[in-house]
Structure 1
Amino acid sequence: MIPPATAMPFLAANGWGDGTILPLAGDASFRRYFRVAAPGRTAVLMDAPPEHEDSRPFLAVAAHLRSTGFAAPQVFATDLDAGLILLEDFGDDRVAEAVALDPSREAKIYGDAVDLLLRLHSVPPPADLPPYDRAVYQREAGLFTEWYGPAVDLPVDVEAYVSAWNTVLAQVTERSVLVLRDYHAENIMLREGQDLALLDFQDALTGHPAYDLVSLLQDARRDVSAATEASMLARYRSSRPLDDAAYAILGAQRNAKILGIFTRLWKRDGKPRYLSLQPRVWRYLERDLAHPALAPVKAWFDRNVPVEKRAAAWTAGTLAT
C-alpha cells in the first residue's frame, strides 16, 4: 500500500498538498484506496491504474446517484490519465463492522438498506447505461468453469453448462433498474443521522431488481441470518413485486460467478484469503439450486461437481493447495 509517485503532485495541484497519505484499503480489483488527512479535513484517494481500470463509469454513476438524491461520494478532483480520483470521505463505519460489533442492529440496518434499494428502484436508470443481459450473465457464470474447475482438477462439460444457463436465464428478462452489482455490507457506509452511503458501484448496469437484493442478503463475506433474509425479502415485497424464481436464479448466477472470481484471486492474483469465503458461497449456491427454476443448472452441477469438490472440501482445507 505505497501510494503512486503521482499522488503528491496530484494532491498539491488540487489544494491538498498539506495532506498526509495513509493506507486505507485494497479490494478484489486493481484499485487501491488511501486516506488523505489534512488539517481539519480528510478525503479518500482512489488509485485505479488506467491500464487496468476505466474510472469513467464510476464517475458517471456517482454523478447520477448524487443527482437523484443518493449518498455517493462527492468527487473533488480527477486525473484519469494517472488513474487518480480524490473523493469525499465517508469515514470508517461500514455496515459489516457495525453489525459484527452489535448483532442486534442487523434488522434495523438491513431494513434501511432494503429501503434504499426500493428508492433506487423507483428512479429510472441512466439512459446510456449498458444492460445486464444474458450475454453478461453467461460471461460471469462462465468464470466458474474457467477458474474453479481447473483449480480443483475437475474436468467439466462447458457446453452443457452454457446450455443449462441459457435455459434458466430465459426466465430472467426484466432490466428496469440501476443494478449496483456489489451492494453488500462492506460497500455500505453508516453516517450518524444521515442516509446510508454507497461505495463501489463502477460496474453498475441496467438490470433486474432482484440482483442487488441477492448481493445484500447472500453476502459472500458475512452470514446474514435466515430470519433477516426472510424479513428483508418480505419488506421489499411489501412495496414492489419480487419473483422467488428470479431471486434464486440470480443468486445462483452470482454465487457461481463469485466462486470463479475467488478462485481466480487465489490462483492468478496470489490472494489466498478469499479461499476462506468459499464454503459460505457454496452454501448459498446449493440452496439456490434447490429451487425448481434452477433444475437444468442443478442437474449439471450434480453430474459435474461431486460433493467432495464443494463446500465440505474447502472447509476441511483439502482443496486449498
Structure 2
Amino acid sequence: MAGLERFLADEAATARLGEDLAMALRPGDVLALKGDLGAGKSTLARALIRALADDTALDVPSPTFTLVQSYDTRVPVHHFDLYRLSSASELDELGFDDALTQGAALVEWPQRAETRMPASALWIELDHQGEARRASLSGQGATFERAARSLAMRDFLDSAGCGGASRRHFVGDASARSYEIVSHAGFAPRVLMNSPRLVLGPPVRDGKPYAVIAHSAQSVTAFVAIDKALLAAGVSVPEIHAEDLDQGFLLLEHLGSDGFLGSDGQPVAERYAAAAELLAMMHGKAWPERMQAAPGIFHDVPPFDRDAMMIEAELLVDWYVPMVTGGPASEALRAGYAREWNAVLDRLAASEYTLMLRDFHSPNIIWRGERSGHDRLGIVDIQDALIGPAAYDIASLAMDARVTVSPDIEKRTLHAYIAARHAAGGFDEAAFKEAYAIMAAQRNSKILGIFVRLEKRDGKPYYLRHLPRIRDYLRRALAHPALAGLHAFYVAHGLLEERPL
C-alpha cells in the first residue's frame, strides 16, 4: 500500500487539502477519513464538498445524527458519519453500496465499518502536530494515484508562486487530459492543465500501438513547443506562465469563457468565416518541422502520413461497422475499404501541406468579440498538430463534429478561406476543394468510429447522439466527383444509412 504525508499548518491548509482531493474525485471512489475529535475532519470534508459544488457558502452540516448527507455536485458525493453505527451491517440500511454506483463516498469514522471499506479506498488520517496537523494518505490503485497527482499539482502551483490558490474543475476531454481554473489574489484566473504522459496501449499493427501510428502527442512537450511557435506567429494561444514538462503540468493564460458558438449554441456564420480567415493566414506561413519547447528540448512535428490517415479511417470498420451490423467486419469488406481509401489518398500527393492543428472546431476555439482581427479567436487543444494537408483543418471547422453546420454556413466558411488565400496569391482552388472533400471524408469516417468506441469501450454513450450529423457530413464530402468510387463502396455496404441509436 502506497502512502504520502502532508503538513497542514493551519485550517486553510486543511481546507486546501479537501479541495485538492475534490479535484481528483471520481464516481465510485471512497475516501475514508480518520482522526480524533477536533483533528480537522469536518474542515476537510466541508472544503471538499464545497469545491465539488463550486459554492464556498454551501451549507455542509455534520451527518453525525443523520449518518449520511448526499450532495448533487459535479461528482455526486455521499457524506457518511459512522460514529453512531452499532454494527457494520447497518451500512446496508444506509445504502452504502448503492451510493457508490451513483457517485463517491466520504466516510468519517470508517473503522466502525470493519471490513466493509473497499480495498480501493483512499485512507486519510489527520493527527494533531502541535498547533498544526499532519495528514497521512494511504491506499492502492487509481483513487490513490489520482489523489497523489492532485497533490503534486498543488506542489507545482506552490513552485509557481500560487500555492494558496483555489482550484475548480474547468473541463475534461475525450483523452486523459483535464483542466482547472486557478484563482489567486494578485492575478487574473489561470488555467491549470493536467496532461499525464500518454498510455500507448497494446500493439495493433506492425508491433506499434494505435497512438504511435496515428502520431498522437505522447507528452506535454508537444503542446509547449507548438504553443510557442503559434504565439510567435501571431496566433492567440495561451501564454504559458509555468511548466513542468516531466510531470505534465502547465499553468496557462485563461483566454476567456465565451464559446465560439452563439448564445443559443448554434453556429454563427461570421465566426466560422473569421476562423477560416485565421487558417488562411496560418497556411500562408512556413512552419518548421522541429519546434523548441525549452532550451535543449525539441518537439518534432510528425507527418500526417498514409499510415496515420488509414488507421484513423479504419476506426469506422473496427467500431462503427460492428455496431450497425451486429458483427465484426468481414475480411472482404476490410480489403475493399482499404483499396478504395488508398486510391483516394493517392490523389493527395500534390496537395498543399502545412501545420494542421487536427481538432480545429468549436470546442477548441474561444470567441473574444471585444478584440479585433485574428485576436478575436483564442485557440486551445493544439498538442496533436501534424504536418498535413492544409484542407484538413478547414474540413474540421466547416463540418464541426459537435454542432450542426448547415450547407450554407459550410459554403460561406469555405468561401472566406478561399477568398483570403486568393488575396495572398498563388492558390490552387480546384486542388484545395478536392483535398477538402478527401480530408472531410477521412475525418468523418474516423469520428464515426471514435464516437462508437467512446461508448463501447469507454462508457461514454452521450457521443452517439452526434452520429446522424457525422453521417450527413460524410454524405456531403463523398459527393465530390473525385470520391465517386469510395462513395459507391459506402452505399453498397450501407455505411451511410440512418441508424436508430
TM beyond 0.5: yes
Q: Bigger CA drift: 115-124 or 49-58?
A: 49-58
Native 8 Å contact 1:189 1:198 kept in 2 = yes
Q: Which residue of 1 aligns with 2:414?
A: 233
Native 8 Å contact 1:266 1:275 kept in 2 = yes
Distance 1:102 1:72 in 2: 23
**What does 1:159-238 align with in structure 2 at a 5 Å threshold?**
159-173=335-349, 174-191=351-368, 192-194=370-372, 195=375, 196-238=377-419
Are 2:224 and 1:62 equivalent residues in the alignment? no
Give the Å deviation of 1:306: 5.5
Distance 2:198 2:317 in 1: 26
Distance 1:265 1:20 in 2: 32
Larger radius of gyration: 2
Native 8 Å contact 1:22 1:36 kept in 2 = yes
More strand per residue:
2
Give the SS at the match of 1:170.
Answer: helix
Give the SS at the match of 1:78.
Answer: strand
1:51–1:285 CA distance, 2 compared to 1 (3 A):
closer
Q: Residue deviations 1:165-187, cap 9 Å, x none?
A: 00001111224311011111111
Q: Which residue of 1 aligns with 2:154?
A: 8
Q: Which residue of 2 aligns with 1:252?
A: 441
Native 8 Å contact 1:249 1:294 kept in 2 = yes
Q: Which amino acid is 1:161 matched to?
A: Y
Say which of 236, 260, 264 aligns to 1:101: 264
Give the SS at the match of 1:101.
Answer: coil
Q: Residue deviations 1:275-306, cap 9 Å, x none?
A: 11111001111221222211222222223235
Say which of 80, 89, 99 aligns to 2:254: 89
Q: Bigger CA drift: 200-209 or 145-154?
A: 145-154
Distance 1:166 1:279 in 2: 26
Identity across the alignment (%): 39
Provide structure 2 residue ranges, at least 5 long, that are not aligned to the other structure.
Answer: 1-21, 25-149, 200-217, 291-300, 422-426
Q: Which residue of 2 aligns with 1:50?
A: 197
Provide structure 1 residue ranges, at least 5 long, that are not aligned to the other structure.
Answer: none
Q: Which residue of 1 aligns with 2:478?
A: 289
Q: Which amino acid is 2:308 matched to?
A: V
TM (norm. structure 2) is 0.59
Q: Which amino acid is 1:11 matched to?
A: L
Say which of 295, 300, 321 aligns to 1:149: 321
Are 2:219 and 1:72 equivalent residues in the alignment? no
Give the Å deviation of 1:147: 1.6
How many pairs does the alignment contain? 309
Q: Bigger CA drift: 44-53 or 202-211?
A: 44-53
TM (norm. structure 1) is 0.90
1:287–1:180 CA distance, 2 compared to 1 (3 A):
same
Give the Å deviation of 1:159: 1.5
Native 8 Å contact 2:309 2:442 kept in 1 = yes
1:200–1:227 CA distance, 2 compared to 1 (3 A):
same
Give the Å deviation of 1:239: 3.0
Native 8 Å contact 1:151 1:267 kept in 2 = no
Higher relative contact order (CA 8 A, sep 6+): 1
Q: Which amino acid is 1:140 matched to?
A: E
Give the Å deviation of 1:163: 1.0
Native 8 Å contact 2:240 2:252 kept in 1 = yes
Distance 1:306 1:79 in 2: 45
Q: Which residue of 1 aligns with 2:489?
A: 300
Are 2:200 and 1:23 equivalent residues in the alignment? no
Are 2:462 and 1:273 equivalent residues in the alignment? yes
Give the Å deviation of 1:102: 7.9
Give the Å deviation of 1:51: 4.4
